[in-house]
Structure 1
Amino acid sequence: LCGLSLNGLTIFSFCKTPELWTPSHLLVLSLALADSGISLNALIAATSSLLRRWPYGSDGCQAHGFQGFLMALASICGSAAIAWGRYHHYCTRSQLAWSTAASLVLLVWLSSAFWAALPLLGWGHYDYEPLGTCCTLDYSRGDRNFTSFLFTMAFFNFLVPLFITRTSYQLMEQKLRKSGCLQVPALIAKMVPTINAINYALGSEMVCRGNLAVPFTAEERAGPSQV
């Protein structure tokens, strides 16, 4: 419920505040939608746990596993896309174009849907968890089919996003330290979407225009060419 509320606040803030209608915040909106989906998936699992059984049948199990895995992958890859967007903004000093942001969001969701659908098509498998109250990948399988799926999926959806995220923030930190413009509160506000949402939900001119929201208004002030 907390996850749904906080991510709902992020989505509400995006819809309410025209200042957030920028390409970089489209990536944040995508991440908030994915995290909301994870929270919804967990809420269904919590309901089943209270019932001490899975009440939705085999087809419901497959749908629950697919939805949860889709949202989890979209969240991971979406975080990597945001990290690259931050790197692009701070290190190239150019705005992210709408076409680029939309392409990144589309790539994140199509890639996540592709990998989440593979267990439904026979590569990998969704099944009940040991307690039988929710469904996810059947990690108990040790056959070649599932092992090959698991390692391939982990490489493209965990290691690659981790590399992109770490490299982007590392290069951004080096760039800002070298220029002497490293602002820790601003970076925290930019890296954690919930903080951005709270800033704007408060509706305070001091908060919205203060140092904590510098990453929000940087695009408005910079005005360089889009890439």
Structure 2
Amino acid sequence: MNSTLSPPARLSVAGFRVLSGCLGSIMVLGFTNNLLVLILFCRFKTLRTPVNMLLLNISVSDMLVCVCGTSLSFASSLSNRWLYGAHGCMWYGFINSCFGIVSLVSLSVLSYDRYSTLITLMLCTKRRPDFRRPLAAVVVSWLYSVLWTAPPLVGWSHYAPEGAGTSCSVSWTEASASSHAYVISLFVFCLGIPVASMVYCYARLLIAVRQVG
């Protein structure tokens, strides 16, 4: 891949202004709200519970997206083109994919934790606060995400401009067997399985609540 990357503009000047306004709002609000979560977590000890470690992990990953990713696409939208070349495109695609998968996996683990907690309460058994499992889940979520977002950096598919040309992601439309295999694997293991586990856990949670009622 070349060190420079300047795809043709895909929006009008007015379109880029609207896009930059939306991205700027997302960046500011996302950073501010997640920073507030971190401040509250650090200030109040009562919030430092095992399950809140997963919520904190989601806030950290979302804030990093705003700082390391959205800021780049915002600046590019103001200039009506991608500003950071091919290497910047790879960086942007990697970190946004990585942080997004971290949040999704954390939500999946959180849904299982809520279900298992309710089952424990229904069985009238005590459950001591245990930080080891949530911390392990946080570490696994990052390792799992890196495992699936690093392959385009080493040749299995690649990150390329998308949409208006001011952001980058996996090359979804590349017509090659290798790229198709990666996209399908990414869809199954980083979207299908986490979402299916959330649907299952919350469905079981709903059934359990109705049984109690």
What TM bracket, shorter-length normalisation? Answer: 0.7 to 0.9
Match of 1:25 among 18, 28, 52: 52
Aligned to 2:110, the other structure's residue is in SS state helix
Runs of at least 5 residues in structure 2 that lack an aligned partner in the other structure: 1-27, 122-126
1:43 maps to what in 2?
71
Out of 117-126 and 171-180, give the one that drifted further: 171-180
Runs of at least 5 residues in structure 1 that lack an aligned partner in the other structure: 181-227
2:31 maps to what in 1?
4
- Per-residue CA shift, 1:1-57, capped at 9, x if unaligned? 111111222222111110111111001100111121233322321111111122222
1:178 maps to what in 2?
211
2:197 maps to what in 1?
164
Aligned to 1:53, the other structure's residue is in SS state coil
- Per-residue CA shift, 1:152-190, capped at 9, x if unaligned? 11111111101111111111122222223xxxxxxxxxx
Give me the whole-angstrom Cα distance separating, in 2, the residues matched to 1:80 and 1:95. 22
1:82 maps to what in 2?
110
Match of 1:128 among 141, 153, 161: 161
Q: Is 2:130 aligned against 1:97?
A: yes
- Per-residue CA shift, 1:65-101, capped at 9, x if unaligned? 1111101111111110111111121122335621111
Which amino acid letter does the alignment assign opposite residue 83 of structure 1?
A: S
Call closer, same or farther: CA 1:165–1:95 in 2, change over 3 Å.
farther
User: Is the 1:89–1:96 Cα contact (8 Å) retained in structure 2?
Assistant: no
Give the root-mean-square deviation of aligned CA atoms: 1.5
- Per-residue CA shift, 1:129-168, capped at 9, x if unaligned? 2533121111120210110001111111111101111111
Give me the whole-angstrom Cα distance separating, in 1, the residues matched to 2:157 and 2:188. 15
Displaced runs of 4 or more, over 6 A: none
Call closer, same or farther: CA 1:168–1:130 in 2, change over 3 Å.
closer
Identity score, percent? 26
* Equivalent residues, number: 180
Out of 51-60 and 106-115, give the one that drifted further: 51-60
Call closer, same or farther: CA 1:176–1:80 in 2, change over 3 Å.
same
Aligned to 1:136, the other structure's residue is in SS state strand
Which amino acid letter does the alignment assign opposite residue 53 of structure 1?
A: R
Give me the whole-angstrom Cα distance separating, in 1, the residues matched to 2:115 and 2:128. 11
Which amino acid letter does the alignment assign opposite residue 170 of structure 2?
A: L
1:53 maps to what in 2?
81
* TM-score, reference length from structure 1: 0.75
1:175-214 to 2 correspondence within 5 Å? 175-180=208-213
* TM-score, reference length from structure 2: 0.80
